Each structure stands twice: as structure tokens, then as C-alpha cells.
């Protein structure tokens, strides 16, 4: 099981698609386009923050259970990032500390309900896509989701800036599985076919090192 991680606009969905094709593995994607709660959250994060987090938790657990039925799979988001995102919302006053504590307790309990083997709960490899803050903003603007745009909500700039900084510490402290990091600025696999080949080669090398 390979999972992707990274900030908004890092290219997780794109790399998941590339890896699934390259490795001939099933892909599992984060529910975004059909997520009715996400636009509501951006309009009123205090009201919908906890509900959104529970929605993602439910969807991600479904993906993990489905992916664990296959010997090989690629997921476009790690469930271990969710606490980071919700803690940020709590620190910014977009959710209460009580809601954050309840969510973390629920996450731990639900993870314990998954199959006993560590290999089923945790990925075999986490791939973190690291992009600069400027690249994040450029891609958010380019993909055009209205509720994500800074020009419609200037407060999002500080949210994105803080999120970018926290991902650095999150990746450094991640210890649930082997991990590797890809520089998404240096290797623009979203647009550049040459970069795609280099990134896939890097992943192949890491998989070989881990004997997966």
C-alpha cells in the first residue's frame, strides 16, 4: 500500500494516477469534487469544520479497508494527515479544542477496529510531495475551485501559509512507515512528461530498496 501526502495543490491526485498506471495497481482517490460539505466549510469553517473532518475520516477508512483487500494499491491521501489539518483549524479558531480532542480519540478508536496486522493499518510507503508556498498558490488559482480562492476570501492566505509550514514538521515527524519526499517544484510531474519519468524512476528505486 502506497499513500501520497502533501499540501493543497501538491499534485497528489496526479501522482496517484501516474503510479497506479505505472505499477498496475488500483487507485483510491480523496472525495473532493462530489463533497457537498467542503464548499460549506470554506464559507463557514466554524460551523462545518467538525462535520467535514468526520466526513473525510469515514471516506478514508473506507479507502483503507478497500485497499487492504488488494496486495498492492495507491491512495492519494494519508489518513495520518487529518489530525494535522484539524489541529490547525482548532488553533485558528475554526474548530474548538474539544472537537479536536474528540476527533483524535475517534480516529484512534476507529484505527484500532481495522485488521490487526500493522501492514494493513499503515502504508508500506508514504510519498510526500513537497512544493513551495508560491507553487501552492499558483496551482490553487489554476484549478479554479471558487471556494479555495484568496481573492474571494483574503483570510485564506494566512490559512494556506500556516498549513504549508506545518506540513514541514509533519513530514519530519512521520514514523508510521518508510517514507520518501519528492520536490514538486524541481520535478513538475503534473505538467512535464520528462519529470514524470524521473519521479517514477525515483519511486521504483525506493520500492526496490524496500523489497516491496
Per-residue pLDDT, 62: 84
| 148 marked ligand binding residue | yes
Divide the 212 residues of the chain into consecutive groups of 10 and give the mean pLDDT of each group: 92 94 90 82 89 88 79 85 86 87 88 61 90 94 89 88 92 94 95 95 96 84
Calculate ∠ Cα 67-170-48, nearest 5°.
70
Q: Provide the pLDDT for residue 174.
A: 94
Pick the catalytic residue from 34, 70, 76, 188. Answer: 76
Is 185 a catalytic site residue? no
pLDDT at 197: 96
Query: In the CATH hierarchy, which fold is given to the domain comprising 2-210?
Result: Rossmann fold (3.40.50)
Q: Is 138 annotated as a binding residue?
A: no
Question: Taking the model in full, what pTM does it have?
Answer: 0.87
> Residue 77 has what pLDDT?
86
**Was 198 annotated as part of a binding site?**
no
Residues 210 and 212: their CA atoms lie apart, in Å, by 5
Burial code (b: 16+ CB inside 10 Å, e: under 16) for 75-107 equals bbbbbbbbbbbbbbbbebebbeeebbeebeeeb
> What is the pLDDT at residue 116?
55
11 known member of a binding site: yes
Give the residue among 159, 173, 146, 40 at the shortest CA–CA distance from 93. 159
10 Å CB burial of residue 193 (0-12, 13-18, 19+) is exposed
Q: What is the layout of strands, in order, in the sheet containing 179-183? A: 27-28, 74-75, 2-5, 125-130, 179-183
- pLDDT score, position 147: 86
Q: What is the per-residue pLDDT for 120? A: 55
155 annotated ligand binder: no
8 assigned binding-site residue: yes
Q: Structural domain boundaries of the chain? A: 2-210
- What pLDDT is attached to residue 144? 86
**Cβ atoms of residues 172 and 117 within 8 Å:** no
127 annotated binding-site participant: no
Amino acid at each position: 500500500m502506497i499513500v501520497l501526502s502533501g499540501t493543497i495543490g501538491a499534485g497528489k491526485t496526479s501522482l496517484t494516477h501516474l503510479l497506479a498506471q505505472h505499477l498496475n495497481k488500483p487507485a483510491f482517490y480523496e472525495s473532493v469534487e462530489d463533497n457537498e460539505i467542503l464548499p460549506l466549510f470554506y464559507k463557514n469553517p466554524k460551523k462545518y469544520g467538525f462535520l467535514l473532518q468526520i466526513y473525510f475520516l469515514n471516506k478514508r477508512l473506507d479507502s483503507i479497508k478497500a485497499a487492504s483487500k488488494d496486495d498492492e494499491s495507491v491512495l492519494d491521501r494519508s489518513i495520518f494527515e487529518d489530525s494535522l489539518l484539524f489541529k490547525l483549524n482548532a488553533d485558528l479558531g475554526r474548530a474548538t479544542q474539544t472537537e479536536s480532542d474528540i476527533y483524535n480519540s475517534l480516529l484512534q478508536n476507529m484505527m484500532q477496529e481495522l485488521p490487526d496486522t500493522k501492514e494493513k493499518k499503515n502504508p508500506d510507503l508514504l510519498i510526500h510531495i513537497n512544493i513551495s508556498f508560491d507553487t501552492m498558490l499558483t496551482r490553487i488559482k489554476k484549478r479554479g475551485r471558487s471556494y479555495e480562492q484568496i481573492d474571494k476570501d483574503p483570510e485564506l492566505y494566512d490559512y494556506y501559509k500556516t498549513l504549508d509550514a506545518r506540513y514541514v514538521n509533519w513530514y519530519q515527524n512521520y514514523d508510521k512507515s518508510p517514507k520518501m519526499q519528492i520536490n514538486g517544484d524541481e520535478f513538475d510531474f503534473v505538467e512535464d512528461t520528462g519529470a514524470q519519468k524521473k519521479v517514477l524512476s525515483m519511486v521504483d528505486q525506493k520500492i526496490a530498496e524496500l523489497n516491496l
